[in-house]
Structure 1
Amino acid sequence: MKIGELATLTGCPVETIRYYEREGLLPAPSRSAGNYRQYDTAHVERLSFIRHCRSLDMTQEEIRALLALRDCPEADCGTANRLIEEHLHHVEVRIAELQSLRDQLKDLQARCNGDGASQACAILRELEQPGPPPVTSDDCAHAGHLHVPGVHRRG
């Protein structure tokens, strides 16, 4: 099948398929006489696996590790379990961070009644004040968890 068919079957955009190939998550397909990529059911299965991992917000490194286990059937299943346990911990940390963010935003919102000129806005006055210092890895280690670069998505 051609790349468009693979995209349709898996719900994955063509550019994302090409990206996964470049990153080595998806093996390069064979080529037809006309130099078209030719995918097979193994590509569909692997791409579906990758997409499922991405839907669980796993990083490329985590996906790569799970794919390696998948490709080596005699590997220890405990490795997959530990990876999921670590990922779950990162999700729990992120939930706590988002709950804290929600509380800060609610506090900020409670400062304003929504009436009046912006020059008297309590939200704007509060935002002009210095914020708390950024969280560092040392802070996180003391709080019982360690932030791993690339795992928490901050924007």
Structure 2
Amino acid sequence: MNIGGAANASGVSAKMIRHYEEIGLIPPAARTDAGYRLYSERDVHLLRFIRQSRMLGFSMKQIAALIGLWLDQSRPSSKVKQLAQQHIRDLNEKIIELQAMKSTLERLANNCHGDARPECPILDGLAQQQVPPFA
């Protein structure tokens, strides 16, 4: 199938398919005599794997490692689990950071009158060297 068909079948845009090929995440596509890319069902399966991995927030480097493990039939599942557990730890750290950002922004917004006055604690807080820590 052509790149449009592969994009529709995998849920990955044609632009991202070309990008994945360019960065070496997927192998170069077969080409027709006219130079059009051709994709097999196996290629589409790999693109779906990448899409699912991205939806779970894995980085490109992690996805490359997962693809390598996925294609290695002699892999120990412990390596896959180790990668997933590290990603869980990374997500937990990000959740803590996002919660802190949300709390700080809520505090700034709650201190703003939101009326016709020019004074704005939100802008004042953002203009500081460091945004005051959340309460």
**TM > 0.5 between the two?**
yes
The alpha-carbon deviation at position 114 of structure 1 amounts to 1.5
Partner deviation per Cα, 1:54-86 (whole Å, 9 max, x = no partner): 111111110011101111110111101000000
Structure 2 distance, partners of 1:88, 1:77, is 16
**Which TM-score applies when normalising by structure 2?**
0.90
Q: 2:24: which partner in 1? A: 24
Q: 2:77 corresponds to which letter in structure 1?
A: C
Gaps of 5+ in 2: none
Question: Does structure 1 residue 112 correspond to structure 2 residue 112?
Answer: yes
Give the RMSD, CA atoms, in angstroms: 1.6
The alpha-carbon deviation at position 132 of structure 1 amounts to 5.2
Partner deviation per Cα, 1:12-45 (whole Å, 9 max, x = no partner): 1111101111111111122222222111011010
Structure 1 distance, partners of 2:46, 2:59, is 16
Question: Does structure 1 residue 49 correspond to structure 2 residue 25?
Answer: no
Cα pair distance change 1:104/1:40, threshold 3 Å: same
Gaps of 5+ in 1: 134-155
Counting matched residue pairs gives: 132
Q: 2:39: which partner in 1? A: 39
Instruction: Report which stretch shifted further, 66-75 or 33-42.
Output: 33-42
Q: 2:92: which partner in 1? A: 92
Structure 2 distance, partners of 1:126, 1:81, is 42
Q: 1:66: which partner in 2? A: 66
Partner deviation per Cα, 1:108-140 (whole Å, 9 max, x = no partner): 11212212321x33333333333159xxxxxxx
Structure 2 distance, partners of 1:2, 1:60, is 24
**Which TM-score applies when normalising by structure 1?**
0.79
Q: 2:129: which partner in 1? A: 130
